[in-house]
Amino acid sequence: MRTVNQHNLTHVFSAYFGDETDPRVREIMTALAQHIHDFARDVKLTHAEWQTGIKFLQWAGEITTEERNEFVLLSDVLGLSSLVDMINTNPEATSSSVLGPFHVSNPPAMEMGDDLRGDFEGQLVLVQGKVTDTEGKSIPGAQIDIWQTAPNGLYSSQDPEQDTFSFHGLLTSDDAGFYRFTTVRPVSYTVPTDGPVGDILRAAGRHPWRPSHLHFIVKAEGCKPLVTEVFPTDDPYLDQDTVFGVREDLVMEYVERPASDFPDNLALSGKVREGFAQVDFDFVLAKE
């Protein structure tokens, strides 16, 4: 009779796979079992601690909806989402960064130079740049999906005062691969802490803040979709993002400009009376 003990369990588990098992499934499951078993052995996990873990996962399942996925947030605060991003980033392309749970599908199309700020209070920001491939070739017709928080630090799905598509829009790069829009300066905000992930942050003595950012998903034919974010150089949480999303190439200066520098041919041209900030950011897409 085979005796399973704490030292040979991992080996016994690995020997269970059938002949038809997909090699990649086998590789991932074997490594996962190895690390989980090592983890339990290393920390000498007690029954009470394991029950706490199970209850945590149960609560995460109960709280998860279409609008809020607690497992994604868990992956984010554990650094796993960012690690997967970093493992899969082409170093010649713009870095990818966390998607987060607040993206809304099918955002309304924007015209070149459109404005997302509307009647909201806060500094006006002009965001512009080019979409190119890794060889520097401009990409016309790229779809740039943009979203951010309102000045109160809430995304539209978190805030009953905002319309579904408030601070969400889809812009298309022009014939030269150029894009341009105006919006309000985003603010730092906290990730949701009223669920099990909030308990983890509190237990670990960690704060829930993210540095302010603009979110983008950029798609173009023949290129890998890019999910990324752009952060300002002066945000106090730049070095302490609770979901580890900041990369050096995603940090941009918000350059202060007088109202007289505001360009023509934008939705707000002729209406800007106060200074604004300008952010120049180019997207470099990896080929498929």
Element (H, E) at 88: helix 80-88
Please choose, from the candidates 116, 98, 118, 120, the residue with its C-alpha nearest in 3D space to the C-alpha of residue 107. Answer: 116
Q: Count interface residues toward ligand BEZ (CB under 6 A).
A: 9
Provide the mask over 29-68, with x wherever binding to ligand BEZ is found by CB under 6 A and - wherever it is not: ----------------------------------------
Task: Please state at what angle helix 70-77 crosses helix 47-63, rounded to 10 degrees.
Answer: 130
Q: What sign does the dihedral 6-7-8-9 (CA atoms) show? A: positive
Quick one: 113 or 186, whose CB is closer to ligand BEZ?
Answer: 186
The correct pick among 93, 98, 187, 230 for binding ligand BEZ (CB under 6 A) is 98
Residue 210 in the binding site for ligand BEZ (CB under 6 A): yes
Residue 168 in the binding site for ligand BEZ (CB under 6 A): no
Quick one: 100 or 113, whose CB is closer to Fe ion?
Answer: 100
Q: Are 257 and 280 in contact (CB under 8 A)?
A: no
Residue nearest ligand BEZ, CB atom distance: 100
Please choose, from the candidates 210, 75, 199, 236, the residue with its C-alpha nearest in 3D space to the C-alpha of residue 153. Answer: 210
Interface with ligand BEZ in residues 67-86 (CB under 6 A): 73, 76
Quick one: 34 or 69, whose CB is closer to ligand BEZ?
Answer: 69
Task: Please name the residues in contact with 189: beta carbons below 8 A apart, sequence gap of 6 or more.
Answer: 149, 153, 154, 209, 210, 212
Residues that bind ligand BEZ in the complex, under the rule CB under 6 A: 73, 76, 98, 100-102, 191, 210, 243
